A and B are shown apart, each in its own frame.
Chain A
Amino acid sequence: MTYVLPGESVPAQHVNLKLGPGLLQVSDAQKSSSIISTRAGELKHTANNRQWWIESNSRRYAPAPQESVIGVVIARSGDNWRVDIGSAHVASLDGLAFEGATKRNRPNLKVGSLLYARVSLAHKDMEPELECFDAQTRKAEGFGELKGGFLAKCSLQMSRMLLDPSHFLLPLLGSKFPLDVAIGVNGRVWISTKEPKHTIAVTRCIEAVDPDGGGMDELGVKKFLGTLDI
C-alpha cells in the first residue's frame, strides 16, 4: 500500500491512462506532463495500471460530475432551485430538469424537500449543477424528490462503502426488515422503513460501521443488532 500527500508526484503511466478522484495532470512549459495527487490517502490502481485513484476519507463533499447526491432544497430563484448538497457552494437545479417536466407541468418542490439527484456540472470556477434524470434516457431512474423517511449523515467513505454491493451492512439489515435506501456519495443516506425504530436501527448501524466513528465489523453489528429491540 502506498500513501500519498497532496502535491506528491504519482508514478502513473499507461498509454490510455484514466485518472480518478484525487489525481491531477499538470503540464509544464516543456510540454511534458506529470501526475500529482491533490488529496491525502491511499494510492490505488487497477490490475492493468490503467485506472488510478486515491482512496481517502473526508466529511466535506467536493462535487464531481455524474455522481449521485442527496440534497436539500433551500431556496427558489426564478426557474431554478438552490440545493444544498453539503459542498462548499450551493448547487443549482433547473426547474425543468425532471422527467417529463414542462413549463406547465413541473414538480412541486418546497423549501426543505429532499432530492436524489445527479451532478451534471462540476467546475472549479462555477456553481455545481444538478439534474434529476438519467443523461441518456432522460427518464427518472430513481432520481427525484424523496418523500418521507429519514436522512442519515455519514463520512464520504462510508457512503461509498454502502454503494459497494459486496458490503455486508445493507444485506444484513435487509434480512431483518424491509427497507428503502438511497445513497448519495456526499455522505447522506436516505432511509425509509415501515417502523420508526427500524429507521433508527439503520441510522445507528451506519454510524457504528462508519470508519470515521466506531468502524464496527460484521460480527460487531450482528451483536449490536441483537441488543436493539427490532
Chain B
Amino acid sequence: MPRPPSPSIPEKEFTYGALKQGLRLDGRLPLELRTPTLSFGPDLGWVECAMGKTRVLAQVDGKMVKPTPERPLEGIITINSEISPMASSEYEPGRPSDEEVTMTRMLDKVLRRSDAVDKESLCVQAGQRVWHLRLTIHCLADAGNLLDCACLAGIVALKHYRRPEVEVVGDEVTIHHPSERAPVSLSLHHTPYCFTFAYFPDTSTQAVLDPSLLEQRLSAGVLSIALNAQRELCVVQKAGGVPLAPDEVLRIVDIAVQKAKELNTLVERRLQEDWATRHVEVR
C-alpha cells in the first residue's frame, strides 16, 4: 500500500489560515499543551499516558545480569520502542520509518543518555551482578506528537517503578520478594520532559506547542526540547529546514521551562495519588 497522501489542499489552506489568526483546530492556544492523562496499571512501572487521542504505554521491568566488562560498576538500561501499524495506518510493520528512527534516537537521548537514572545505584556486586532495566514503549494510537507522549510515559514509568530490595552478605546475594520487604524506587538524578514545537512555512505564523497530526504534517520544521523543571537542558533537536533565530530558540526554551514546571507538578501529584492507593498493611 502506498503511503497515505499528504493533507488535501483545502485542509492545508484552512489550517495555515486559522493558525495565522492564532486559532488551532482543537481550540487550544498556540502554546497550550493537551493535558496528559496518566493511568497506572496493577504492576509498578506500568504507565499509560494519553495526550488527547495519542496514547502510549510504557512498562519497566528489571532483572539481574552480569555487567559488561567495560562498565563493571554500572547497571544497564535498554529502551525498546516500536511504532506498529496499531498506532496509525501510516506505519508499516518491518522496516522502521523515519519517524520511528527519530523517535528511538530521541528516547535514547532523553531517557538514557541524559543520565536520568543513576546507573551506579543499579550495581549490586561490582563486575558480577547489576540490574538490567528494560523499558518497553508501545505506541497505541498516534494523533500527533507521539514523541512527547512517549518520553513522558517513559520517564513516569521509571519514576513509578520499584525494584526488589537486595541484600549482599559477603558473596551471597538475596533478592527479597516485594511481599517480604518493600521494594525500593530507582534513584533518579532528574526528570527530563520533552516538548515539541512546530514551525510553519509562513514565518509570521506563531510556533505551536504539542502539534496535532495535521499540524505536524503541515509544519516546515519541528523543534524538540528536552529539559527538567530545574532549567537544565538535556536535548535540543531541530528537524526540517525552517531557519530559526537564536533569540527565538531562547524564547522557546523559556516557554518550555514553564511547561516543564507545570508538567512536573502534575506528574508528582498523579504519582502520589497512585501511591496512596497502594498501601499494604503490615501485621
Contacts and interface: CB of A to CB of B under 8 A. Distances in A.
Interface string B11-53: 1111101100101111100000000000000000000000001
Interface residues of A, number: 28
Interface residues of B, number: 24
Contacts of B6: 112
B245 interface: no
B277 interface: no
A129 interface: no
B53 to A, nearest CB: 8
A114 B25 contact: no
A204 interface: yes
A158 B14 CA distance: 23
B8 A114 contact: yes
A147 B4 CA distance: 21
Contacts of A60: 89
Contact of A114 (B2, B10, B15): B10
Contacts of A90: 2
Q: What are the 10 closest A-B residue pairs judged by CB atoms, nearest first?
A: A74-B5, A150-B14, A112-B9, A196-B18, A72-B8, A114-B8, A112-B8, A151-B11, A84-B5, A149-B10
A229 to B, nearest CB: 9
A149 B5 contact: no
Contacts, number: 59
A196 B5 contact: no
B282 interface: no
Given A88-B1, A149-B14, A200 B23 contact: yes
Interface in A23-81: 60, 72-74
6 contacts: A74-B2, A113-B8, A114-B10, A200-B25, A200-B27, A213-B53
A114 B6 CA distance: 12
A228 interface: yes
Interface of B: 1-2, 4-15, 17-18, 21, 23-27, 53, 89
Given A146-B10, A204-B26, A72 B5 contact: yes
A226 to B, nearest CB: 14
A148 interface: yes
A197 interface: yes
Given A112-B5, A112-B8, A113-B9, A196 B27 contact: no
Nearest to A196: B18
A111 B15 CA distance: 18
A113 B12 CA distance: 11
A9 interface: no
Nearest to A151: B11
Contacts of B1: 88-89
A197 to B, nearest CB: 6
Contacts of B10: 114, 146-151, 190
Interface in A141-156: 146-151
